[in-house]
Structure 1
């Protein structure tokens, strides 16, 4: 490594003229005079820093201390020719710290540390190979851990940064995303925060047709076996004679749009509860309808997420009024409740209406024709849309240190926020970057330099309500990703991405936080350099005071 010579300059500049004359006389060996011990003034005064002084009859000579050498490249010297002792950079000798060791030069000696990807064995850092039995061994995490209800499908390496990939077994899924385990600097596999959970079958788009038949859709495409549905029916007569009709029907089918026709009584208000028989879990669906003579609405169904269509039994020339009562709720936002009531009139026998519904919300819609005695109820679920853009302050950095990324929590107004990611891209790829791209990988992938990488990922539940700061390049892991230092002299674009995920739909929004041109030291590295500079100033001030 390049170093400037440390220590004092030629010692002769520090000696008084009288002392120089005495030294000269002692060296000449004048007759009738006793030998003067030139070394009595101390090695530092006579020979300079990092030296030992040796008296001889009529003279003296100087020797550099261990770890230093004379600038005249001789073993001994007399400082009247400007020779002084300078530090020896032992780290110029390769392999000094053994395999996996990193050498750091110190004044008069050196220290050893383990390189990235290696663990310390039999000792502590720093260590010295001539006096310690300490060594560095390459990190190997061994076989990846087993995961419940998951199968290991890929393992690139058991070395530091190696990633093991898992997929869930049939009938299970990982709603949070891909399941991985990373080999850490401790030589152990980091346990995944994601798990495989049993697929929750959801019954959607329940509708009634032919007055006594029910049709629905199920959303679990990964389950290929037949499913047993339990249809519970409860009916209340509309006439003066109070009676209850209850029965349970089971339907076994592999159809993705099952339907069943029930033996129902006329003139009855029914509630039908549809669920999946154990051991599978499901979100049940409930629909209410009537078989009363006065019920004029049939075949009600939803389309395009926010629209309804139905049939009306009436004379062609009659106009009908429809009364709507709508409730909206969100499981991820308990305080959100929306209720609407309105009416429309139309003479169409196949009316349609599109509702003003919020994204990422479950709705129950009650629809009653003015000519009917009871309403029909249908459930609608709207998909999420892109989350709000990240609230970041843009920075343009030219060769200087980066500020800390200040991360603010986004509002869940378009759907639940699942995670926040910090992406580091080559600046040339900024214009071609797509926020919906899922191709960004970890820093340790083979394509990180060319295509960019994910420097940090934080789950929404781990982000505080006010704000948090992330130093770019602090060498820590955020989620499953390594926050690597930026390479000096390169141009980067740093992007903050917010991900919203619900009902197996994923949406993203992105904002450019910083453009870095001719990247230099990070903020943490600048702090380290600053502390080192302060230490040098203190040492120089102390030496100057001692000389006075």
Structure 2
């Protein structure tokens, strides 16, 4: 019926005819209608928000009947009013025009409210997580929920977040806890076995877990028992030591062997094993040096003293070839015992015979034999030959003082430590003296056989001569100046054995202020643990020459490793240091050293980026300490 009435009203209004009572059309418009005139006609039209014929009916139009989402958008509530409507955002959302109500004709919509912007919303230990139109609470790391569910809402749930506390850690049989600890999440307890017990290092930690309990410790302390001490080559065990912790086994070297490094011991450790001794038994090899002939038939020599028992038995093998082929050769072996460090023996030799005399030791001693030639010819004009100033010879000539004599020298040099080395020199000199002297141009650290034959004699005189070593070549280093840490890896190059055998390479750490007063031959620098402070410096590493590769190797200062018996300790932050490389040569009781400054460390506090930018100056042959002493015997 309503639609029919509306159509009738519209039809009448459209005609513009006066009302039934003859009045004007505009006077008959509904109160929610407006009179409009067009094309000479007047009509009543319902206002916006109303529907009807404009005269008898203008009914409110319900804009919300199509649905909240269609009219107002997502997360909204639509509210109809007389002749209009308005929108309200649901709880947890707010209008983008920041008003409580809106009509979405200007693009306004409802945006989610981030409730988590309010601190403390989820109470102590709680963590807020925003959701669409709301939020949820969870417990932070290190906290556990109590008295309610998770996730929870503070307005409806009684859930509280309590800090995780694992309580006291579990006990371990025969073990104890090291240091202090806390019972919070992630805290660790370090265990150790009591004295006399041991366990693996990977099982000594227990952690407080997120469940509020301690991880079960895996530590299994077992009583230490090292068993029988290990065998040491060429050594005998002294006594019958126990296998308990701290027991010490002592050894003595067998006959013919010695331990130059000191006592040989092994200690039962807390791991149930015996320590390896750093000292070993080495075979005693006697070096026979500086063999010389005097009084024509007597021989004198020297041995390496200091490590040998007082009495040694020598074997003298004599082989002589006479000039006259009718006569038989002279062969003889004799022995004698002496405790002298410079033994000598006079031989019963035939005149006119060329002898080779070989000197060695009798078992159980081993030696490096030495050989000397003796010519007992009647016409021999060279006698009482001796060595002075290490490389000079003097002898007595049978010639008169004003008679010139030509002498032919044939010199051959060899080195037992450098098999590829060989030197040979042949020359002659003319001297008019009854006590000639000649100084030879010989290489250091070399065993020489020197043959001298006078032009007037038929056979030469042969003597052995050993030259002392001199300073080894200066170390070849790439000098570095470093401000702060870490230090660059220092490159160690192997030195040539030109002046004698290279024994070892030592890395010394000195306070920088001592650089100008340091003596290369100084023995004051000891191991890191031998000093109460490092004010005098210390030896950080020692490498035997046999352990250094031919090309090169690298060493990092402060890497906390042992090199030989020396500990490579970390450098102290903020201190200035001088790193020195010392090359040592030892031979025939003589010790020589050469040193070079390897690096200077300025201990200023710098960042890692600054340290990466520190320039390294490569100086390939070396910034040498000009003040360093050259040798020490």
Q: Same fold (TM over 0.5)?
A: yes
Aligned equivalent of 2:215: 131
Matched, 1:328 2:413: yes
| Aligned partner of 2:186 among 86, 109, 129 | 109
Q: Distance in 1 between matches of 2:348 and 2:569?
A: 67
* Structure 1 residue 178: Cα displacement: 5.9
Deviations 1:267-290 (A, max 9, x none): 111222222222222222211121
How much has 1:180 moved relative to structure 2? 7.5
**Other-structure match for 1:461:** 546
CA–CA separation in structure 2 for the residues paired with 1:363 and 1:271 = 16
Structure 1 residues 245 and 54, CA, compared in 2 at 3 Å: closer, same or farther?
A: closer
Aligned twin of 1:452: 537
* Residues 1:67 and 1:501: Cα distance change in structure 2 (over 3 Å): farther
The 5 Å alignment of 1:212-223 reads: 212-223=297-308
Q: Which residue of 1 aligns with 2:311?
A: 226
Trace 1:36-435 onto structure 2 (pairs within 5 A). 41=131, 46=137, 49-50=140-141, 55=152, 58-59=155-156, 63-64=160-161, 66-67=163-164, 99-100=177-178, 108-112=185-189, 121=200, 124=203, 126-128=205-207, 130-134=214-218, 148-149=234-235, 172-174=257-259, 191-192=276-277, 194-435=279-520
Looking at structure 1, the residues matched to 275 and 506 of structure 2 have their Cα atoms a distance apart, in angstroms, of 19
- Equivalent-residue separation in structure 1 for 2:568 and 2:403 (angstroms): 69
- List runs of 5+ in structure 2 lacking aligned partners: 1-110, 123-127, 169-174, 209-213, 239-243, 613-633
**Structure 1 residues 262 and 19: CA distance shift in structure 2, 3 A:** closer
Structure-2 change in CA distance of 1:192 and 1:236 (3 Å): same
Distance in 1 between residues matched to 2:272 and 2:539, nearest whole Å:
22
**2-structure distance, mates of 1:375, 1:314:** 16
Q: Which runs of 5+ in 1 are unaligned?
A: 1-15, 28-37, 69-87, 91-96, 153-157, 528-548
| Partners of 2:305 and 2:254 in 1: CA distance | 14
1:460 and 1:389 mapped to 2: Cα distance? 15
Structure 2 distance, partners of 1:455, 1:363, is 38
**Whole-angstrom distance in 2 between the partners of 1:266 and 1:450:** 68
C-alpha spacing 1:18/1:223, structure 2 compared with 1 (3 Å): closer
Structure 1 residues 466 and 205, CA, compared in 2 at 3 Å: closer, same or farther? closer
CA distance in 1, matches of 2:180, 2:519: 40
What CA distance in whole angstroms lies between the structure 2 residues aligned with 1:483 and 1:508? 21
Taking structure 1 as the reference length, the TM-score comes to 0.71
Q: Return the alpha-carbon distance in structure 2 between the equivalents of residues 151 and 497 of structure 1.
A: 37
Which TM-score applies when normalising by structure 2? 0.62
Q: Tell whether the 8 Å contact from 1:114 to 1:120 is kept in structure 2 after alignment.
A: no
SS across alignment from 2:498: coil
Q: Indicate the RMSD between aligned Cα atoms, in angstroms.
A: 4.6
Aligned residue in 2 for 1:77: none
Q: Matched residues in 2 for 1:495 and 1:185: separation?
A: 37
Deviations 1:425-446 (A, max 9, x none): 2223333322222333332334
Q: Distance in 1 between matches of 2:118 and 2:301?
A: 109
**Residue 334 of structure 1, CA deviation:** 1.9
**CA shift at 1:373, angstroms?**
0.4
Q: Is the deviation greater in 319-328 or in 264-273?
A: 264-273
Change in Cα spacing, 1:514 to 1:214, as seen in structure 2 (3 Å) is closer
CA distance in 1, matches of 2:399, 2:498: 42
1:367 is displaced (CA, Å) by: 0.7
Count of aligned pairs:
465
